[in-house]
Structure 1
């Protein structure tokens, strides 16, 4: 597998790391994304405009704290890739873009979104790791994703 294929695979798996089903254990960013982000780099800049405070995190741990809190109130999150990933790679740096759609279910509301995500990856001794992230999300009209996402069964218990 060449670097472009490897980054495309990583970006695709990254999207589905954000999946949540009702009854899942609390979201733990580092355990889910430890293989994706560079947790030790001073060069990290991570941004997602879906964060209501629109913070720019300068560490993967700081970015994780934004989403661990947000995901605490979510019942489920389901995704589908709409376009990509598209990758360019050089010796030590790569960039990938991908568009996904997601349905986020909270106790009081369901929100459908379309997000374009751009990631910059750096080759490290442990493999390719994210050092830059920019996500631009658009809230879609209610129900726009009906029939576009996989059906998930309620947990048995």
Structure 2
């Protein structure tokens, strides 16, 4: 498999790593994303504007600590790729971009979102790993994803 297709596959699987179903065990970021992030890199920069604190994490573990409490509170989170992934790959660095939609359900109700995500990957001894991440999210009108994906109907 060429690098562009490999990165596209990784980015698509990364989106599905954020899936949650009612009754799932506590969210463990490292377990879910150990194959995607460079947990040993001293130069990570990871950002998602959906984080209420809008923090920039400089370690994968630090990024996980942002998301674990939120995902533990969720009843479910279901995602689908809406566009992409679009990939540019060089021998040791690659960039990928995709758009996903998701329905996040908490005890307070459901929120539909559309997120544009850009990842920079670096090839190392363990393969391709994320070293940069930027996500921009727009909250959609309530129920916007109704009927778009059958899995959402069960929420």
TM-score, normalised to structure 1, is: 0.96
SS of equivalent residue, structure 1 residue 15: helix
- Corresponding residue number in structure 2 for 1:70: 70
**Structure 2: segments with no counterpart, 5+ residues:** none
Residue pair 1:80, 1:148 contacting (<8 A) in 2 also? no
SS of equivalent residue, structure 2 residue 10: helix
Query: In the TM superposition, what whole-angstrom CA distance separates every residue of 1:59-107 from its partner, at most 9, and x where no partner exists?
Result: 0000000000111110000011000000000010000000000000000
Q: Which runs of 4+ in 1 moved over 2 A?
A: none
**Structure 1: segments with no counterpart, 5+ residues:** none
SS of equivalent residue, structure 2 residue 84: strand
Residue pair 2:19, 2:77 contacting (<8 A) in 1 also? yes
Query: In the TM superposition, what whole-angstrom CA distance separates every residue of 1:98-132 from its partner, at most 9, and x where no partner exists?
Result: 00000000001210000000000000100000000
Residue pair 1:79, 1:149 contacting (<8 A) in 2 also? no
Distance 1:91 1:108 in 2: 46
1:11 Cα offset (Å): 0.1
Cα RMSD (Å) = 1.1
SS of equivalent residue, structure 1 residue 137: strand
Aligned length: 154
Distance 1:107 1:68 in 2: 16
SS of equivalent residue, structure 1 residue 102: strand
Distance 1:66 1:149 in 2: 28
- Corresponding residue number in structure 2 for 1:15: 15
Residue pair 1:78, 1:149 contacting (<8 A) in 2 also? no
TM-score, normalised to structure 2, is: 0.97
1:152 Cα offset (Å): 6.3
